[in-house]
Structure 1
Amino acid sequence: MQMTEKTLEQVVGERPFPEYADWWPVGSAFTAFMSDAIVSEWKALDPDSGTLDPDSGTLDPDSGTLNEVRESAERYIRTVYGRPSRQGLVEAFVQPDGETALQSGEFDALSYAFYRSAFRHIERHPERFDEGLERERRLFTIRVGKLFFDRLNRHLTLDLPDGLNTPGQLERLSAAIDRVGRFLHDQGYLRSHFAFRFDVDVEQGDTRIIQHGDEVVSRLQSGRLAHALYEMGYPVILPSAVYLYHTIGEAQHHSSRTIENLFGEVGYDARETDDFDPIGYPSELVVELWEIRSL
């Protein structure tokens, strides 16, 4: 999707999220893993973005790029949630201490601000990147997702199969995905619901896709495309995903990139279909159709 001409204020007016007005806590482990992944990749886009110490990589809170993120987060919280941002919010995310708990709307705003900054940087400096604008933005989300997954995998010590050649291996992968889902729910990334299903019966455009879960292994082993449905209840970044997608053309897909990496570990490419638009779903049940194929 190409960048639109709409402003944040316009899209908020078209799709407000009053159901997100009451914030809930976001877990410290999730915050720490996300901080490491987002800030590391954001800074890697522009190594001269301002540090106090090149060895420690500590960001200068007064650097221009961090000021841009801070102003964007403050504007977002004011526009979307109608409240002021607390002092030191960006600094608390950049250097989490494990004690300062973020609230849902705060993480939503931080995710929006860092990704908006990253996407704008890629747009402003095309000469620094090998791929086109849309692809480079997607690659940024993939790199963040890989770092987050690596931290999460070490934390959960996931039991992953070597491949998807048997129903038993698919069951092990499903169990690992469920463990990730429980973590995301318990840490406040998802408020109410997580499911990743291989039984599929949906319409995509003019095509109806029907797949029974016990067909997945045979489909993949014969080189055919397999599908899945990823269901989320009140994902914490749904507002900012909608607003980024409809002002810039790309969203963050934090949990989707995590599950994508799970499949990558067992030798498969899997992700949501390109036509997914988060604006069209109720907050209590956001559903992505996934395509799965052998690498």
Structure 2
Amino acid sequence: MFPDKFEYYAPKSIEEAAEFLNGHEDAKVLAGGQSLIPLLKLRFTSVPQLVDIGRIKGMDGILFQGKTLEIAAMARTADIGENQEIRKNFPILSEAAGLIADPLVRNMGTIGGDICHGDPANDFPAVMLALGAEFEVTSARGKRIIQAEDFFTDIFTTALNTGEILTKIKIEDNKSSGRYLKYTKYAGDFSILGIAVDLSMDGTKIRRAGIGLTNCGATALKARKAEEFLEGKEINDENTAKAADLLLKITDFVDDDNGSTKFKEKLLKYLFKKAVKGIGGVPK
């Protein structure tokens, strides 16, 4: 099947792209295209104009600025997963990248596209929530910063205003260690559910906890109550079990072909406990 007709625009700079979007409110930004192109081909959606930012130079960089990791929005998933500095300093991000879909999608898909698509089953959003990332967005009016926990507002909906483009992701190095675990029916499939857990330690106690949930509601979810409960506590079975119970208070599971609500609740608890044990409370 072929998509409806649309006007194709390939700007040479992010400023040019932003200016075009400012005058075309219904235009859609094309990043890696791994989510948008199938939707267009199947005619699940249509757009009057498509703005391809993939040709803009400098939009795919991965850079460490002191204690801050800066990832340009067009950085490919495969490059994130294979970057040695990310593997060393942000293992949770590297692990999540390696679990996304298949090699073809990872080689073409971008972190910005994954985040901005707003699909609750996508993997990077939960990791962004766990890491406390912030997003730099650009428009004809200038730049602004959106915190990850404020970015995901509803299913397939984000806090981006009309004409805004996600240009950069910034993540502070909290000397943490983390895991991203997901459960799927088939290899390379979307998550039935997943969890990102990132812990910073002071000796045997948790100094900072970051937890993000995949496909547990209409958006990626930040488990604020569970994070606050864990901070200042030691990692043991009792504290982990209590934190797991707090996770369930923010989920919005439904019975479907992927399993019952009770099954998903048990699965989420299992993955959380496995993630925490996988981290082991050992700072890098």
Q: TM-score, normalised by structure 2?
A: 0.28
Structure with greater proportional helix content: 1
Bigger RCO of structures 1 and 2 (CA < 8 A, at least 6 apart): 1
Structure with greater proportional strand content: 2
Q: TM-score, normalised by structure 1?
A: 0.28
